[in-house]
Chain A
């Protein structure tokens, strides 16, 4: 009895030390909660109204169910929609508490010890925190007039820009998860590149302090003004753990005349254990609008994590001569499931799009490429090229290709090709004969299979991603 009281006191002591803990919205999804979120973030009234409008719409929308990977029904009233950063007591206290498998992976990727702690939300020495790196970084950007901050900060400091572009690509009346995000999003990144500025470095969430705590409903808005260029990196190769199972982020990209946005993602969220328990549902809406003439948006993604990945980074090619690109590697192992691809919607004249998708499934996993190429009546002289290849390892996994092709313009051409095969015995034999063991050989061949996509990644990312591809498939052969 006495012991218990002491325990309680301890709890209280911790709770007391982190005042922030009290900023937790009650469970459930209702108007109150949305007002609570908006209020706590000191948002202007228009944004609150915008959120409420999205919520109204959400009430009539139904959760989609056409996707290949099925999941247990989510009780949206049983979720917390806002909680301030968690106190350390809820987080693992040191690395020994973590899944040893995870630590092994870190080792192979060569991630420093401190970084491993940061990724898992373990208290990090103040000295290590990358504040200094971030500050110097910020100065360079400010000099050129580039805005790179959290979206909450942007709402306060640059309300005009946010108001003008937020929801202009993914309207609040979009599908279920996007609308849910619009109603309850908590934080995310905001980027604005002024006219004729080429962003001198790769922008990455990594450099934004506290970025890992943006929660499950992230909102990203990137605007490239006339003649500008930006390359943005999301995520990292190290496995990320998160308490929230559902992730429904929205990412909006807007490219004005002659602007170019390159958006690269490496996603390696916790896929669940070997039997497929736990693991994150990644239901992200990513959409880019090539609004101006000669603009270009290019998506590159390496998807190796999450229990279920369900997303279609898309391009709306509205401006004449605009270009949309999609490069993807999706790897599923064990019980992971992925239903991913892209949409290329050609509206402007002389628009071009290119889709390269590489899917690899192993273990008991299931992977689907689902894509849409839609050339509208007015998109004269438009072209699309699509290539989606799948590689299967073992006969307990599945690989599917579901492309939708719509051509309404006689001056436009669409070419699509897809193949499904396994690693050929000859190739394996050749590599093994030269002294590689089976796993190394598979790693090498798979890397070759993915090369076209890996090349699209920024240099330092590409090296890591290459390693990641090998690690993701460990134990899937033999």
Chain B
């Protein structure tokens, strides 16, 4: 694999158009990845999902060279019609369209980053892999006191032109003081057996608001890793919603640093799994300053021989007095082959805090099914109704009414 990585990297650099600074950083990132390789279960974070094995088993030999010069057509019919929205269209890891037609041009600054942070997290070599192979990194800056009028939908498309390939993608958002952005990331996978590695960076300035909704619904055989880093200044709010269902394997990781007082983070997630899918959500909320708040609700519905994993950690620094941290994960196991693993973790160094977590897993309540059936529903409908209700609690947490309606329709929950 090492040889392959090196040759693919050279090919990638020679066919792209990077500055010397970028090439230097990319080389460093590659060296870091070569040193560590793909994470395996030996690392605590990857204990439940050995991505090294999963890639080997499902993809086999992986190509790292991804030709960003290929032209791809975009079919406008596939875009969401229900709501007016701004677009970023990404095909096979390359940004092909950036349109902010509903916004004031001088309130947004679009650029590409020359100097990216290395994120050299020792137990996360995938960030290094992303840094070394991702294309030009776009940066979206929302200026002071500006609120987005319409949501931004990021269409992440893959097509049949790539297979058995590693696609790396990175995007940056900067929110200045008092700004607001609403983002929906939609995965539209028409490719097979790729390893897709996404990295999203969000920098939230004072009093800014980020609403971030991620939807992966379309069934596909790709393996996905999605990392969001959210850094929050005082009074900022971040809301993350994850709907994880389509891909064969997905690991969604959200790392949230609450650095300013009264900042708060909300992370809600749904796993709706069938067949032999294997999905994981891992969250890390770091309370680094006084009076910060975090709330998490993750629900899983697991059918057939699929596997759902939730790892959540609340870290409270000794400085972060008056922290309020809450975490709840619930799972419904619908089949004998289904599996649910959880590791809700608290690491606390301050005494004046209120932190708690709960985790429950089991099957559908027989009494509830009986209740519904005694009122004339057949068993199947009764079960569906209960599952819908179970998941709806998470969807209802979405604070934007328009988007909530859209997503409810999209997911099929009413």
Q: Which residues of A contact B (CB under 8 A)?
A: 66, 377, 390, 392-422
On whether the beta carbons of A417 and B356 are closer than 8 Å, the reply is: yes
On whether the beta carbons of A417 and B341 are closer than 8 Å, the reply is: no
On whether the beta carbons of B359 and A409 are closer than 8 Å, the reply is: no
Query: From residue 281 to 337 of chain B, which have CB atoms closer than 8 A to chain A?
Result: 318, 321, 331, 333-336
On whether the beta carbons of B355 and A419 are closer than 8 Å, the reply is: yes
> In the complex, which residue of chain B has the Cβ closest to the Cβ of A366?
B349
On whether the beta carbons of A421 and B353 are closer than 8 Å, the reply is: yes
- When the two chains form the complex, which single residue of A390, A393, A405, A417 contacts B361, counting CB atoms closer than 8 Å? A405
On whether the beta carbons of B44 and A403 are closer than 8 Å, the reply is: no
Q: How far is B355's CA from A397's CA once the two chains are assembled, in angstroms?
A: 15
> In the complex, which residue of chain B has the Cβ closest to the Cβ of A370?
B345
Q: How far is B340's CA from A418's CA once the two chains are assembled, in angstroms?
A: 19
Q: How far is B349's CA from A392's CA once the two chains are assembled, in angstroms?
A: 9
Q: Answer whether residue B343 sits at the interface, using C-beta atoms and an 8 A cutoff.
A: yes
Further 14 A-B residue pairs, CB within 8 A, beyond A402-B346, A410-B363, A414-B361: A395-B350, A400-B348, A405-B340, A406-B340, A407-B331, A407-B339, A407-B341, A410-B334, A414-B359, A414-B362, A419-B356, A420-B348, A421-B354, A422-B352
Q: Do A416 and B359 form a contact, CB below 8 Å, given A395-B321, A396-B318, A409-B333?
A: yes
- When the two chains form the complex, which single residue of B333, B334, B349 contacts A407, counting CB atoms closer than 8 Å? B333
CB distance from A105 to the nearest CB of B (A): 25
Q: Answer whether residue B347 sits at the interface, using C-beta atoms and an 8 A cutoff.
A: yes
On whether the beta carbons of A420 and B349 are closer than 8 Å, the reply is: no
Q: How far is B350's CA from A400's CA once the two chains are assembled, in angstroms?
A: 11
Residues from chain A with Cβ under 8 Å of B339 in the complex: 406-408
On whether the beta carbons of B344 and A418 are closer than 8 Å, the reply is: yes
Residues from chain A with Cβ under 8 Å of B267 in the complex: none
On whether the beta carbons of B361 and A422 are closer than 8 Å, the reply is: no
> In the complex, which residue of chain A has the Cβ closest to the Cβ of B362?
A413
CB distance from A239 to the nearest CB of B (A): 26
Q: Number of residues in B with C-beta < 8 Å to the partner?
A: 34
On whether the beta carbons of B318 and A401 are closer than 8 Å, the reply is: no
- When the two chains form the complex, which single residue of B340, B345, B353 contacts A422, counting CB atoms closer than 8 Å? B353
Interface string of B105-136 (1 = CB under 8 A from A): 00000000000000000000000000000000
Question: Would you give 11 A-B contacts (Cβ < 8 Å), ordered by A?
Answer: A392-B348, A392-B351, A393-B351, A395-B321, A400-B347, A402-B343, A410-B363, A413-B360, A414-B359, A420-B346, A420-B356
On whether the beta carbons of A417 and B357 are closer than 8 Å, the reply is: yes
Residues from chain B with Cβ under 8 Å of A398 in the complex: 347-349
Q: Answer whether residue B376 sits at the interface, using C-beta atoms and an 8 A cutoff.
A: no
Residues from chain A with Cβ under 8 Å of B348 in the complex: 390, 392, 398-400, 420
Q: Answer whether residue B358 sits at the interface, using C-beta atoms and an 8 A cutoff.
A: yes
Q: Answer whether residue B342 sits at the interface, using C-beta atoms and an 8 A cutoff.
A: yes
Q: Which residues of B contact A (CB under 8 A)?
A: 44, 318, 321, 331, 333-336, 338-363
On whether the beta carbons of B344 and A414 are closer than 8 Å, the reply is: no
Q: How far is B339's CA from A407's CA once the two chains are assembled, in angstroms?
A: 6
On whether the beta carbons of A403 and B362 are closer than 8 Å, the reply is: no
Q: How far is B312's CA from A401's CA once the two chains are assembled, in angstroms?
A: 11
Interface centre among B331, B336, B342, B346 (most CB of A within 10 A): B346
Q: Do A395 and B351 form a contact, CB below 8 Å, given A410-B334, A410-B336?
A: yes
On whether the beta carbons of B360 and A415 are closer than 8 Å, the reply is: yes
On whether the beta carbons of B360 and A411 are closer than 8 Å, the reply is: no
Residues from chain A with Cβ under 8 Å of B334 in the complex: 410
Q: How far is B360's CA from A409's CA once the two chains are assembled, in angstroms?
A: 13
CB distance from A473 to the nearest CB of B (A): 13
Q: Do A405 and B359 form a contact, CB below 8 Å, given A398-B348, A400-B348, A418-B344?
A: yes
On whether the beta carbons of B340 and A407 are closer than 8 Å, the reply is: yes
Q: How far is B353's CA from A393's CA once the two chains are assembled, in angstroms?
A: 11
On whether the beta carbons of A416 and B360 are closer than 8 Å, the reply is: yes
Residues from chain B with Cβ under 8 Å of A66 in the complex: 44
Q: Do A406 and B359 form a contact, CB below 8 Å, given A398-B348, A400-B346?
A: no
Residues from chain B with Cβ under 8 Å of A400 in the complex: 345-348
> In the complex, which residue of chain A has the Cβ closest to the Cβ of B308?
A407
Q: How far is B313's CA from A402's CA once the two chains are assembled, in angstroms?
A: 9
On whether the beta carbons of A403 and B318 are closer than 8 Å, the reply is: no
Q: How far is B347's CA from A401's CA once the two chains are assembled, in angstroms?
A: 6
Residues from chain A with Cβ under 8 Å of B361 in the complex: 405, 407, 413-414
On whether the beta carbons of A401 and B360 are closer than 8 Å, the reply is: no
On whether the beta carbons of A403 and B343 are closer than 8 Å, the reply is: yes
Q: Do A377 and B353 form a contact, CB below 8 Å, given A403-B359, A406-B341?
A: no
- When the two chains form the complex, which single residue of A393, A397, A410, A416 contacts B358, counting CB atoms closer than 8 Å? A416
Interface centre among B343, B344, B348 (most CB of A within 10 A): B348
Residues from chain A with Cβ under 8 Å of B346 in the complex: 390, 399-402, 418, 420
> In the complex, which residue of chain B has the Cβ closest to the Cβ of A393?
B351
Residues from chain B with Cβ under 8 Å of A418 in the complex: 344, 346, 356-358
